[in-house]
Amino acid sequence: MTNSQADVVRAALEILDERGAAAVSLRTIAERLGVRMNTVLWHAKSKARLIELMADAIVAGASIDGLPEHWSERAAELARRFRRALLAHRDGATIVAGTYAAEPATLDFAEALIAALLDGGLPEREAAWTCWSLVYFILGLAQEEQAMPGRFAHGLDVGQRPALQRVAPILIEESFEERFEFGVARLLHL
């Protein structure tokens, strides 16, 4: 029997981790909890609301405690923690990218990241846009990482495209950690 919204979200995350985003539904959560669908709807109102709650729970995995003092180290560490939180759940990046969750953990994370950027002297607009750029970059890279590991095991046929021929071996490397650190450093001008 479910007693709270937290129970519904926890069950949804369990289904996500076991079977992926496509398997998450109000019905499967009700079955998991042994309750009627109306009980799940009482706590999550709709599938869209459920996804928002799941996204916030995933982002809550990116702790904002114990961060470095220097703004750029703090921002980079927040980016690392965000990526780890996304990767901690099967299809975690897909869930978070699929919504705009203005929920407590998500807002707390955004506050910490924007505060670091403002502490670095970025004007308000640049801090906001750098925050968005970091989030979009991390979501995209994490989605790619989670989507199809080993997808280029047999190479990549780029045809008669000279620039792509030159970099194809690099493009198909599954060096997600290195690509992540490179992208964060570029976005933060490190």
169-182: average pLDDT = 89
Fill in the DSSP letter of residue 158: -
- So what's the pLDDT on residue 172? 82
> Residue 2 above 60 pLDDT?
no
> Residue 174 above 80 pLDDT?
no
- So what's the pLDDT on residue 1? 52
Helix (H, G, I), strand (E, B) or coil at 94: helix
Structural domains of the chain, with CATH: 5-45 (1.10.10.60), 63-187 (1.10.357.10)
Distance CA 90, CA 14 (A): 10
> Residue 110 above 80 pLDDT?
yes
- So what's the pLDDT on residue 154? 72
Residue range 72-83, pLDDT digits in tens:
999 999 999 999
Distance CA 30, CA 39 (A): 8
pTM above 0.85, yes or no: yes
What the block records as the tokens of 181 is 């650190």
- So what's the pLDDT on residue 142? 96
- So what's the pLDDT on residue 156? 79
- So what's the pLDDT on residue 153? 66
Helix (H, G, I), strand (E, B) or coil at 63: coil
Q: Which amino acid is at 84?
A: R
169: confidence class by pLDDT, cuts 50, 70, 90: confident
Backbone dihedral region of 20: left (phi > 0), alpha (psi from -120 to 50 degrees) or beta?
Answer: left
Distance CA 143, CA 171 (A): 16
The contacts of residue 180 (CB under 8 Å, 6+ apart) are 79, 80, 83, 138, 141
Inter-CA distances, 157 with 10, 127, 145, Å: 43, 39, 20
More confident residue, 147 or 51: 51
